[in-house]
Amino acid sequence: MERLETTIDVQGPWSLATSRRFWEGFAPSALTSQDGEARLRTVFRVDRDWSRAEVEVAQDGGAAQLVLTGDGDPTAAVAQVCRFLSLDVDARGWPDVGRRDPVIGAAQQQLPGLRPCGFHSPYEAAAWSVLSQRVRIVQAAQVRQQLVDEHGDDGAFPAPERLRALELDLPGRKAEYLHAVADAALDGRLDGAALRSVDPEEAVRGVQQITGLGPFAADLVVLRGANAPDGLPRQERRLESEVAERYGPDADLTGAAEAWRPFRTWAAVLLRALREERTPEIGGRR
């Protein structure tokens, strides 16, 4: 097992302590804190080769210190960590969004340095979207943890090849849909770097071609799995309600979001995070 220590210069505002508050409420993330607020640790599948990797993250001023161990490609693993923690986004223009839009500016002050964390990969986001269909978040999280415990690799979600081979006793067509997700991952259709490299709306359309993944799931895979910074979640009713509450009853999400470019995903996540703090969803954030 290889060990790699590296430092990432984070461009723009970032606070590990603030982000930790958000990460710990994100049920599917499996991110845990270490030494109070000083470090975070997680285990994940590297979507380049589906190897297991483990990372510990600390903050030193404007830099992120990563200690990574794993059996696969360490360069790909580091890139994936930066992607799912939004450390690879040049956010020096993020404060400008707050200056253009006082609503976002006030939210930035309430959660200073928050960067959206996502799923470890689009593959895990897609699997979660299947598991969480028509059930409470806490129930989906329990099923996910059972898959990790019984079929994973020391804390890592089962690799696609393993998931594809499982005979799962799940309600409805969920087993079929999980197998379709595994097939898509093996075919390269859920590659995080590839999904981030194209326009988010194009990426969403492609993900919707996977059996069992509708519009809401496709948004989740692209915006929270590939962690695209400038996409607009169009299927979230709670976000629409938050926009109406903060911008007025005649406001609409598409119109409000024009001022958020090129960080529409970030602004949407920021508003959702504040809404969840006021009225937390049972079982954690989706």
Q: Tens digit of pLDDT for each residue in 249-271?
A: 999 999 999 999 999 999 999 99
Neighbours of 132 (CB within 10 A): 23
Instruction: Dump pLDDT digits (tens) for 172-215.
Output: 999 999 999 999 999 999 999 999 999 999 999 999 999 999 99
Return the number of other C-beta atoms located less than 10 Å from residue 125's C-beta: 29
Please give the Cα distance from 31 to 23 (Å, whole number): 7
Say what the pLDDT of residue 65 is: 97
- Report pLDDT for 286: 43
User: In terms of C-beta distances under 8 Å and separation of at least 24 residues, what long-range contacts does 234-241 make, across chains too?
Assistant: 236/268, 236/272, 238/272, 238/275, 239/268, 239/271, 239/272, 239/275, 241/275
Instruction: Enumerate residues 6+ apart whose C-beta is below 8 A from 58.
Output: 16, 38, 39, 40, 64, 65
Parts of the chain with a pLDDT under 70: 24-37, 279-286
- How much is the pLDDT for 39? 85
Where in the chain are the domains?
Answer: 2-90
The answer as to CATH 3.30.310.10 being correct for domain 2-90 is yes
Residue 69, helix vs strand vs coil: strand
What's the pTM value of the predicted model, to 2 decimals? Answer: 0.92
pLDDT of residue 234: 84
Q: What is the reported pLDDT for 237?
A: 85
> Tell me, what's the pLDDT at 211?
98
